[in-house]
Structure 1
Amino acid sequence: MLFSQEAAWQRLLLVVVAALALTACSSVDGEAPQPVQSPNDDYQYRYLVLDNQLPVLLISDTDAPKAAASLDVMVGSGDNPSGRGGLAHFLEHMLFLGTDKYPDAAEYEQYITEHGGSRNAYTSFEHTNYFFDINAEFLPEALDRFAQFFIAPRFDAQYVDREKNAVQAEYQMGITSDGRRGLDVLQEVMNPEHPFSQFSVGSLETLADRPDSSIREEMIAFYNKHYSANAMRLVVLGNESLDELEALVTPMFNAVPNRDYQPPQIEAPLFKDADLPLLVQVEPQATSRSLSASFQIPDFRDDYHVKPANYLSNLLGHEGTGSLLSQLKAEGLAESLSAGAGLGWRGGALLSINVTLTEAGAADYDRVLQLIFDYVAMLREAGPQQRLYEEQSALAALSFRFREESSAIGYVSALSSGMHYYAPEDILRGPYIMDDYRADELSSLLEYVRPERALVVFTDKTAMTDRKSQYYEVAYSAQTLAGERVAGWEVPVEPAVFALPAPNPFIAEDVSLVAISEDNPEIPERRLEQQRQTIWFQQDDEFRIPKGALYVNFRSPLVGGTPENAASALMYTNLLQDSVNELTYPALLAGLNFSFYKHSQGVSLRLSGYTDKQEVLLAQLVEAIRSPQFSEDRFENIRRNMIRNLENAVAKRPSSQVIDDLREAILYGQWGEQAIINGLKQLSLEDLQQYSTAFWASATAESLLFGNYTAGAPASLATTLEPLLASGEPVSLPPLEVLKLAPGENLQYTVAVDHSDSVIAWYLQGGGNSYADRAATALAGQVTKSGFFQQLRTEQQLGYVVSSFSWAQLDVPALVLLIQSPSHSAPEVSTAMSEFMARVPGELDAAQFERHKAALVNDLRRPDKNLWERAEFYWQSIAKKQYQFDDKQRLADTISGVALDDWLAYFQQHFLHQAHSLQVVTAGRWGKFPDLGAQRLDSAAQIKADHARYVIQ
């Protein structure tokens, strides 16, 4: 095996070297080096630096249906002035609200939405990143509006208080988020001289005017200091040629002022040596148990050809045989583990090992730390391994070789941020480069991962606490450790239990493309149909990569009929996935993804990635399913972890909890958290084994093969799956069903959410589920999206979460209006929603309506970006029995034919006068519910009992 693996590496490295040689670095007129691109990338790129020292990357895709742009500024919450927590974040909000050239605060959002686009921004510790996409032909106008943010923003005083309220709402929304709460504690215990110790989000208190200074004046001063062309990076993607893009972008963005801002190096350590090792104990809001061990390391971002932190993180986070996680699971101490340098700054980074603990792990987390440091000691003694480094390097290079198209908006946003760290020629391949093995550098990194340098954070309800954090009132304690306890972390584990990863058996050796058969169908066709098996097949003749999607849906009536069956199916898929984790983890590293999960009518198995070793992995998985190795200990740990995760739903964002309640209320066979918890609590391993036997006795399999497969692949797949399936006639399945609201029906579902905010999710079902109903309802979502946000969030300041969207479930269309408000009661929110809906018909003109139609149609007709998007559409079509695979086209055609008058009549009938209405409401601190004459119910079961249903065959 080792010999063949080494041969595979030699072939793979030759492929990678040859591929990279095809795309050598070039320059434009000798002025600037140009990015090296993947041989699988058919975009055209141009890197240039404008006269104002703004670096720009232009991307031309002549077939692009959507254009996109992103500008990243090297400034973030770490740059907030002392005492002004949230100022960088507040500035990000204010930039969207009008410029000298486009003074209307709603104009940018409206223009983007009406032309099929979206826009957003984020503020991190070091970056503020702005981005948008739009139907490609409208890029020039959108880009002009975007450029003005960085040239002449208005910062209108009338919006200052409103956006401070929005920031306050965002802050309050995170009060129950353990992620935000954990960060609040971390910032409180870190070195106060480090700029990352400042409050990030902001609040009414930190953004309040002071006697000697207004927040608006300080914000403008902050903008004028940091928003400098030389500290920005711009990426623009369009369907124009590179010359046309350059001619468009240059005059617009040359006007951005260059203030010659140079982000300062951060000299202060995140933690002082005298404060380490530091043990921080945190009491979470949710019932979560975790342990993290973090270590300050140098800033390796400039050393991206070596990537020492990536090398070490890969070993620390490995999940195969002999790994740290394997031993933690064997001792019943942990459920999962991750590692990486997630937090970085100009001067250093924080390398963290994060462990999700079992109850036993929480009770003995010193043992977890002992195992962590023993594993690190093994790595230190073994020293750097060139074999492992080259394995990581070659897999990363192979990923770049077969880079696939992603969403335009995500692509430009990631590139603009990365441009700060990569040389121009490496902008595209920088995240993939790992071609400079330096044993001394890899060894030196391990010297930072020692007990005396550790920040240990233990999070559990049993945590010993003695104080509360300032902003999120998190109970915690912090203690500098020394002596026997720390020494105990370094006691070697006897006998030795750890080993370096073995050579990866799933690395693709053959990355050639199969020949397309003459009888390859234009859409997937059934290549096999038996009593219990159906296989759909199509070779990919468009994306042409050595990868494929192998999806199998095992349907059974023993999944959604009762909450007990649903709990059993959920437990079974989790336990099976866990039992094969050490087998599938190397496959994941080799670009071969696996998942096994429950859905409404059964369980699905998915393999995706390089096709070369898929058959090998599938055969091993089938054998694991046929002869499962389930231990009582793992069963119990996973069962308890699942129950805990379901109980932790109370810590989710309130608006998310309400949407979950809405979904349960309208979908039959959908069960709430408590019903599943009850099912899990009464489930034993013996029960589960009996359930799995009954499941497979009743199961049928429907599969899809799409990608780089030979014509013989369906027959081979059928043979592999056959041992899992019983013989005989298939068992009939109950249909999928959706609640059917009657015209004029008005229901109110009151739910309890442990949060002070009020939340309303107003579900307005379409008049039916025909293409005409789906088209009219989708248009309702598109037409209301921008105005609902602008009027109820920006103008009325009802809350941070304010959204209107089309929400079809199993193709039953609906419009949902969603608001989470920290400042208004549910009756006030409901009234504002109703008033907005009543204004919609009178505020829509014919030109706007045509733009909204075009936006929807363009999105539906947009070509699939990659093989996986195409496969997902095929798979969903098969599940819905839409075997012509033309659902999107038919819906687009229907939308194109909708006239304004007809749509207005539909809107008024089905969303105003005879609405099919269900409001899901949590009252928050006010304790009040809207009084709209609705029938008030307090359980999803009550709503679904004896109600009409859409039956989805």
Structure 2
Amino acid sequence: MLRFKFILIFIFSIFNIFALDKKYPIVEDKSDLKILNPSLKDRNTLKLRLSNGMKVYLISDKNTDKSAAAISVLAGSWDDPKEFPGMAHFCEHMLFKGSKKYPSETEYMKFIWDNSGIPNAYTASDRTVYMFSINHLAFDEAIDRLSHFFKDPLFDPSHIAKELYAVDQEHSKNLENDGRRVHMVSKEIGNQNHPNSKFSTGNAKTLQSIPPAELRKWYEKHYSANQMALVIYSNKDLDELTQMVVEKFTPIANIGKDPVTTKETIFNKENTGKITYIKPISNIQFLLLEWELDRKFTDDETKSADLIAYTLKRGQKNSLLEILKREHLAEDVDIAFEKAGLDQSLFLLEIKLTDLGIKNVSKVISRCFEAINNLKKSSIPNYLFHEMKTMSKLNYEYQAHQDAFEFVSEHAANLLYEDLSTYPKKTVMPTQYNSENINELLDSLNFSSSQIYLIADPKKTKMKLDNKEKWTKAKYSVKELDKSLQNRLSKNPTNPNIKLPEPNSFIPTNLQMDATKDNFTNEKKPAKIVDNDFATIFYLKDDKYKVPQVSWHFQIKDEIFDEDVRSDVLKDLYVKALLEKLA
């Protein structure tokens, strides 16, 4: 009888597998990246493509303290209708205000908060992402509530006025955010035919006349399952997570939406090769150089733009930053490749200026282009690519436990842009060294194609600002670069004092842990290995985490560290200098 019962259960299970398989083909995992951190050894993943086209990435982790979910939609502020700036952002807000199954406008948020969770969402240029984390026991009910955002939202007209106020408050909060103010100025001086020029946040003025029917119409046009990605992270088994996802998310409509693209450039060519002065709210002073890259580099699997950024800011002796510091012109440099939209991207170089740097901003600009031109002349050595690739791989393999909320938010956003089968390999790692891509990118980084911003007090820049950005009222002015600087930059100057990074001898080649009994003990107290007039040094063997990392903790005691103000200032200066030397 037991054998017969087993056969019946087995047949039923097989039937269920085939029945569910029609609703979600399992996607073969073609990413060969492996997590080697022992604390994450029990983590399992599964990739599904639901019958409605939705990408699904499931992560089962018995050691996570919270369950979390995030769903991203390939629809954002660039999809806003011209007559209603901020529509995508307002739609994001309204989806929290109830569904047919859960009509109360506070139901979702209250349920998450009551179960020690965090709910949130954000709207970017080409995507909107909804996410939450919560106690494990409440996860199933939270998932059901989230799924109804995309199955039967109410868009109740009675909630519109209240949510308009919330959007307006969010805009008001951004008025004193210098990063947002610079962003809005860049929109205003950019190509007005590009959707990037739109007022992406919106406020009560731009949104107050939206008919509820128009809001629903926009939602139904832009929210489609085939342009969504769902990430689930929980302590539940993969089978249980699969059943939950198939049941809750397969009913979401697939309208067969194609990604929205534009042939317009983000930059306005009339303002490239010029400098825009912006008055900040806070006491900051930055020089920002931006370039709009060729579209083919937005999803470049070789990550050549990232390699250029990595090379320029690696922090070696005689780097761009060290030269600027030596000349007392700058305190810090940040360089990055940034995805601006689905198929458009920017290359950014940001310098934190000293007062002397503001007075000599032409010299700072010149040093930046000299560093770039050095690379044009020498190109980038292959060893720097392998160094970047090696570290990207090691950082993934030995990643630490991440906060569940941040974890799903990050993965849901990234998953929109990579094929599910290879994810996350192409997001994490470059594929190969490509000298043609590198040289083409470097050639495009010239002053005539750049947008340059100086964000500093006008009293220091001695510049009269004669424009006000429409929405934030940020004062700015667009000016021609100094003629002598233009002439110098047109000759592609180089600088022999700015050097290429040497090979990093500290890049590990073998991270296999020696887990023999002699190397991992159960010692609970550190062993004293040095004890003399100079120092006392303790060593504690790691028998818990077993990752290829060392944790150093230094405590320096000396009579010179008195409690007076001068001593405190000297200590701070010493620590700052030491950190800069070690960076």
The 10-residue stretch of structure 1 (153-162 or 121-130) with the greater mean CA deviation from structure 2: 153-162
Mapping of residues 711-860 of structure 1, within 5 Å:
none
Q: From the superposition, tell whether residues 556 and 494 of structure 1 become closer, same or farther in structure 2 (CA, over 3 Å).
A: same
Q: From the superposition, tell whether residues 544 and 303 of structure 1 become closer, same or farther in structure 2 (CA, over 3 Å).
A: same
Match of 1:506 in 2: 506
Structure 1: segments with no counterpart, 5+ residues: 1-26, 586-953
Match of 1:84 in 2: 84
Match of 1:575 in 2: 577
Match of 2:521 in 1: 520
2:107 and 2:525 mapped to 1: Cα distance? 44
Match of 1:539 in 2: 541
Match of 1:552 in 2: 554
Q: From the superposition, tell whether residues 350 and 205 of structure 1 become closer, same or farther in structure 2 (CA, over 3 Å).
A: same
Match of 2:241 in 1: 245
1:302 and 1:341 mapped to 2: Cα distance? 9
Match of 2:389 in 1: 393
2:215 and 2:277 mapped to 1: Cα distance? 36
What does the per-residue CA deviation read over 1:690-747, in whole Å, with 9 as the maximum and x for residues that have no partner?
xxxxxxxxxxxxxxxxxxxxxxxxxxxxxxxxxxxxxxxxxxxxxxxxxxxxxxxxxx
1:223 and 1:477 mapped to 2: Cα distance? 38
Whether the 8 Å contact between 1:267 and 1:347 is mirrored in structure 2 is no
Please tell me whether residue 33 in structure 1 is matched to residue 28 in structure 2: yes
Q: From the superposition, tell whether residues 523 and 102 of structure 1 become closer, same or farther in structure 2 (CA, over 3 Å).
A: farther
1:471 and 1:220 mapped to 2: Cα distance? 26
Q: From the superposition, tell whether residues 482 and 533 of structure 1 become closer, same or farther in structure 2 (CA, over 3 Å).
A: closer
Offset of residue 240 of structure 1? 2.3
Whether the 8 Å contact between 2:299 and 2:343 is mirrored in structure 1 is no
1:557 and 1:429 mapped to 2: Cα distance? 53
2:352 partner SS: strand
Q: From the superposition, tell whether residues 534 and 149 of structure 1 become closer, same or farther in structure 2 (CA, over 3 Å).
A: farther
1:248 partner SS: helix
Match of 2:112 in 1: 112
Whether the 8 Å contact between 2:77 and 2:88 is mirrored in structure 1 is yes
Q: From the superposition, tell whether residues 286 and 51 of structure 1 become closer, same or farther in structure 2 (CA, over 3 Å).
A: same
Q: In structure 2, which of residues 380, 405, 408 is the aligned counterpart of residue 409 of structure 1?
A: 405
The 10-residue stretch of structure 1 (540-549 or 567-576) with the greater mean CA deviation from structure 2: 567-576
Equivalent position amino acid for 2:521 in 1 = N
Please tell me whether residue 287 in structure 1 is matched to residue 283 in structure 2: yes
Offset of residue 309 of structure 1? 0.9
What does the per-residue CA deviation read over 1:80-117, in whole Å, with 9 as the maximum and x for residues that have no partner?
21142322222222222221111222222222222232
Mapping of residues 183-202 of structure 1, within 5 Å:
183-202=183-202
2:242 partner SS: helix
Q: In structure 1, which of residues 411, 423, 427 is the aligned counterpart of residue 423 of structure 2?
A: 427
1:558 and 1:145 mapped to 2: Cα distance? 61
Match of 1:310 in 2: 306
Q: From the superposition, tell whether residues 528 and 162 of structure 1 become closer, same or farther in structure 2 (CA, over 3 Å).
A: farther
1:431 partner SS: helix
2:204 and 2:555 mapped to 1: Cα distance? 51
Q: Percent identity?
A: 26
Mapping of residues 480-491 of structure 1, within 5 Å:
484-491=484-491
1:131 and 1:494 mapped to 2: Cα distance? 47
Offset of residue 232 of structure 1? 0.8
2:64 partner SS: coil
What does the per-residue CA deviation read over 1:382-403, in whole Å, with 9 as the maximum and x for residues that have no partner?
1242222122122222223323
Offset of residue 461 of structure 1? 1.1
Q: In structure 2, which of residues 364, 367, 370 is the aligned counterpart of residue 374 of structure 1?
A: 370
Match of 2:13 in 1: none
Match of 2:345 in 1: 349
Offset of residue 504 of structure 1? 0.7
Offset of residue 53 of structure 1? 0.9
Offset of residue 523 of structure 1? 4.4
Which structure carries more relative contact order (alpha carbon 8 Å, separation 6+)? 2
Offset of residue 536 of structure 1? 5.9
Please tell me whether residue 269 in structure 1 is matched to residue 274 in structure 2: no
Equivalent position amino acid for 1:297 in 2 = L
Q: From the superposition, tell whether residues 524 and 269 of structure 1 become closer, same or farther in structure 2 (CA, over 3 Å).
A: farther
Whether the 8 Å contact between 1:59 and 1:237 is mirrored in structure 2 is yes
Whether the 8 Å contact between 1:299 and 1:344 is mirrored in structure 2 is no
Offset of residue 566 of structure 1? 4.5
Q: TM-score, normalised by structure 1?
A: 0.55
Which has the higher Rg, Structure 1 or Structure 2? 1
Match of 2:359 in 1: 363
Q: From the superposition, tell whether residues 85 and 527 of structure 1 become closer, same or farther in structure 2 (CA, over 3 Å).
A: farther
Q: From the superposition, tell whether residues 325 and 529 of structure 1 become closer, same or farther in structure 2 (CA, over 3 Å).
A: closer
Q: From the superposition, tell whether residues 88 and 322 of structure 1 become closer, same or farther in structure 2 (CA, over 3 Å).
A: same
What does the per-residue CA deviation read over 1:564-593, in whole Å, with 9 as the maximum and x for residues that have no partner?
654443333223323x1xxx33xxxxxxxx
1:390 and 1:535 mapped to 2: Cα distance? 36
2:92 and 2:364 mapped to 1: Cα distance? 41
1:97 partner SS: coil
2:232 and 2:493 mapped to 1: Cα distance? 54
Whether the 8 Å contact between 2:393 and 2:429 is mirrored in structure 1 is yes
What does the per-residue CA deviation read over 1:154-205, in whole Å, with 9 as the maximum and x for residues that have no partner?
2222321112111211221222221111112111111111111111222111
Q: From the superposition, tell whether residues 100 and 566 of structure 1 become closer, same or farther in structure 2 (CA, over 3 Å).
A: farther
Match of 1:648 in 2: none
Whether the 8 Å contact between 1:301 and 1:421 is mirrored in structure 2 is no
2:63 and 2:551 mapped to 1: Cα distance? 25
Match of 1:148 in 2: 148
Q: From the superposition, tell whether residues 235 and 522 of structure 1 become closer, same or farther in structure 2 (CA, over 3 Å).
A: farther
2:278 and 2:207 mapped to 1: Cα distance? 28
Mapping of residues 410-489 of structure 1, within 5 Å:
410-462=406-458, 463=461, 464=463, 465-479=465-479, 484-489=484-489
Q: From the superposition, tell whether residues 343 and 494 of structure 1 become closer, same or farther in structure 2 (CA, over 3 Å).
A: closer
Match of 1:229 in 2: 225
Question: Over the residues paired in the alignment, what is the CA RMSD in angstroms?
Answer: 2.7
Whether the 8 Å contact between 1:304 and 1:433 is mirrored in structure 2 is no
Offset of residue 490 of structure 1? 4.2
What does the per-residue CA deviation read over 1:435-472, in whole Å, with 9 as the maximum and x for residues that have no partner?
31111111111121011111111111134211111111
Whether the 8 Å contact between 1:44 and 1:61 is mirrored in structure 2 is yes
Q: From the superposition, tell whether residues 76 and 401 of structure 1 become closer, same or farther in structure 2 (CA, over 3 Å).
A: same
Q: From the superposition, tell whether residues 86 and 492 of structure 1 become closer, same or farther in structure 2 (CA, over 3 Å).
A: closer
Q: From the superposition, tell whether residues 275 and 113 of structure 1 become closer, same or farther in structure 2 (CA, over 3 Å).
A: closer
Q: From the superposition, tell whether residues 127 and 553 of structure 1 become closer, same or farther in structure 2 (CA, over 3 Å).
A: farther
1:118 and 1:257 mapped to 2: Cα distance? 27
Match of 1:737 in 2: none
Whether the 8 Å contact between 2:89 and 2:200 is mirrored in structure 1 is yes
Whether the 8 Å contact between 1:325 and 1:334 is mirrored in structure 2 is yes
Whether the 8 Å contact between 1:34 and 1:45 is mirrored in structure 2 is no
Please tell me whether residue 168 in structure 1 is matched to residue 173 in structure 2: no
Whether the 8 Å contact between 2:366 and 2:485 is mirrored in structure 1 is no
What does the per-residue CA deviation read over 1:487-529, in whole Å, with 9 as the maximum and x for residues that have no partner?
2224566872122110112212442324455883464556479
1:519 and 1:45 mapped to 2: Cα distance? 30
1:100 and 1:334 mapped to 2: Cα distance? 57
Whether the 8 Å contact between 1:366 and 1:489 is mirrored in structure 2 is no
What does the per-residue CA deviation read over 1:379-426, in whole Å, with 9 as the maximum and x for residues that have no partner?
011124222212212222222332333122222111111111212232
